[in-house]
Chain A
Amino acid sequence: MGYPHPSHPKETPLLSEHFGQAAARTYEGWTSRGGYQALRKALGMTPEAIVEEVKSSGLRGRGGAGFPTGMKWSFMPKEDGKPHYLCCNADESEPGTFKDREILRWTPHALIEGCAIACLGIRAETCYIFVRGEYTEPGRILEAAVREAYANGALGANAFGSGKRLDVVVHWGAGAYICGEETALMNAIEGKRGNPRVKPPFPAVSGLFGMPTTINNVETLAAVPHILNRGGAWYASLCLGSPKSTGTKLISVCGHVKRPGTYEITLGLPMRDLIYECAGGPLDGRTLKAVIPGGSSVPIMSMAEVDNCATDYEGIAAAGSLLGSGGMIVMDDSTDLVLQIWRLARFYAHESCAQCTNCREGTAWTTRVLERILRGEGTASDLDLLLDLADNMTGKTICVLSDSCAAPVVSGLAKFRDEFEAYLSGARSPVLVGG
């Protein structure tokens, strides 16, 4: 459902069916809604069978990268004698993205159940759920649900009497966007600065505490119980566009729409339907100008590009952007894109972990150049300078934070160059930003 709004007929409420129902948060409320049946089933399955079921569903990572989940699980070693770990990434901090928050605070047991099943699939006994420090309310609700899951025997040394140990630990972050990067998140759990690690080795070989580790996003794991209950083939049949994009996806829509909220769609739904019908379209008297479809790190789309775009991994890629996290920022004709792109650049400059020169310097420099353009002090060569900086920030660093800063700059300049030029020529009044 389009929380906080009622469900729209074009939605497919699966993960979001119980959003807004406080009773679904409790163990009893969750089991009365069919909860923990999938875990009981998984406890009787082999790890291989669990992984196969998830593979057949076509489920792909919902955190941003879209990597096939079953394949990721299959990378974990089989008989290595080492402890294995699952990390759940609940560090949702990508501007425009607020979907995992709804899972954490309305259906925490769906996530716990998904974590437990994933542990069985990857031969792990322990899952660490890394919750961003700012998610005080959702994190507390999750902690209460974990305690309840232990008290009811779903977790612990002998999960549901199976003889198998399943532990879920909530680990609080402390304010750092970069900890959403998988290896930075592992460093944070280990008690280190959240610097991303050089890969390889990949987490399946050497991850948390140097042991084989799988890391999945909240939404990915919350989808797993549905796949176990109803079958991978059923999940794969949920598809309106590319056959490589199956299942449902939570899309959090924000910005200049009448009904901002988290909508759950079958992948492939036309983006126009999502924006104009589910989210209610532009505010009265306004027209839409641009959309950032997958969290702030992906290229900006013009409305012409939105027009025939299917909301799935392939559809948005064909339109020149990315589905990413599914955090959709909608901007109308009142939006000053130069100002918004500057604000995003400042976000990345603030959040850079500063270990790579191109990112540390590039994000700060990009911010300062945009500042001087906004202040009416830009020169004609500044636009080329921004593109040159962006080129040096793309594909040149340990993680993609730097690339993420470049994406809105490059796409903004390609599609809305006239707005930048209006500041250079003085046609637009200066905006006093920065120091």
Chain B
Amino acid sequence: MNEHPVAAGPLFTPERRQELEALGRQYPTRQALLLPALWMAQRADGWVSPAAIDEIASELGLTPAYVRGVVTFYTMYHTHPVGRHFIQVCTTSPCLMCGSGDVVAALLEHTGCGELGATSSDGRFTVIETECLGACGFVTPILIDDDFIESVTPAMIPELLARYP
């Protein structure tokens, strides 16, 4: 899931087209498949590439410009490749007031990313701060890829990162 092939093949392999058609039976319009299709693309390639946008647009009967407009509205779709492991740290008020800044600093240091939004030179990590993750009683919550991790402290970070080679 976190492997990012350099040259991805077509998004809609027979298996994925079948998956899309199965999802399609749950909605009265074809366009309702847009967010699910974008998730499929990101799961396949690690990001939503221009090629994937073209393919999805053609599959759903939309223009690439329309699809791009939707992609850029939603912050979780990556419009460029990111590190093999994507880390999101909550820094909204309840987390900020309980020490999330120290978690951000420790993550930037131990991943080698140096700054928010940057990818480490080995391509392993990208760290971003994100708005409220909805786990304010479990400061600091972070997402590493799809793993939601609660109550992270700076001391936990080296061991935590080691789980994501």
Contact = CB atoms under 8 A, between A and B. Distances in A.
Interface of A: 4, 83, 92-98, 100-101, 126, 132-137, 167, 169, 171-177, 188-194, 209, 252-256, 260-262, 296, 327, 329, 331, 335, 339-340, 343-344, 347, 350-351, 353
Contact of A172 (B26, B39, B73, B92): B39
Contact of B73 (A132, A137, A194): A194
Interface string B26-63: 11110111111011000000000000000000001010
Contact of A252 (B73, B93, B96, B136): B136
A340 B33 CA distance: 39
A10 B36 CA distance: 43
B137 A95 contact: no
B94 A255 contact: yes
B70 interface: yes
Given A93-B132, A134-B76, A255 B98 contact: yes
Contacts of B135: 98, 101
Contacts of A262: 137
A94 B132 CA distance: 7
Given A194-B73, A256-B98, A347 B35 contact: no
Interface of B: 26-29, 31-36, 38-39, 60, 62, 69-70, 73-77, 88, 91-94, 96-98, 130-139, 143, 146-148
Contact of B38 (A100, A174, A340): A174
Given A175-B75, A340-B97, A132 B32 contact: no
> Which are the 5 A-B pairs with shortest beta-carbon distances?
A191-B34, A175-B76, A174-B74, A260-B137, A175-B75
Contact of A191 (B35, B97, B132): B35
A136 B29 contact: no
Contact of B93 (A92, A98, A329): A329
Contacts of A194: 73-74
Contacts of B60: 191
A257 to B, nearest CB: 9
A192 B92 CA distance: 27
B70 A192 contact: yes
Contacts of B69: 193
A340 B146 contact: no
B88 A134 contact: yes
Given A137-B148, A254-B139, A255-B97, A347 B92 contact: yes
A209 B73 contact: no
Contact of A331 (B38, B70, B97, B136): B97
Contacts of B32: 189-191, 209
A343 B96 contact: yes
B136 A134 contact: no
Contact of A256 (B28, B97, B133, B148): B97
A17 B148 CA distance: 24
A172 B96 contact: no
Nearest to A191: B34
A136 B70 contact: no
A1 to B, nearest CB: 13
Contacts of B97: 255-256, 331, 335, 340
B93 to A, nearest CB: 5
Given A254-B94, A347-B93, A83 B33 contact: no
29 contacts: A4-B138, A93-B132, A96-B132, A97-B134, A98-B136, A100-B134, A134-B133, A167-B26, A172-B35, A172-B39, A174-B75, A177-B131, A189-B27, A190-B29, A191-B31, A191-B33, A192-B31, A193-B70, A209-B28, A254-B94, A255-B98, A256-B97, A256-B98, A261-B137, A340-B93, A343-B91, A343-B92, A344-B92, A347-B93
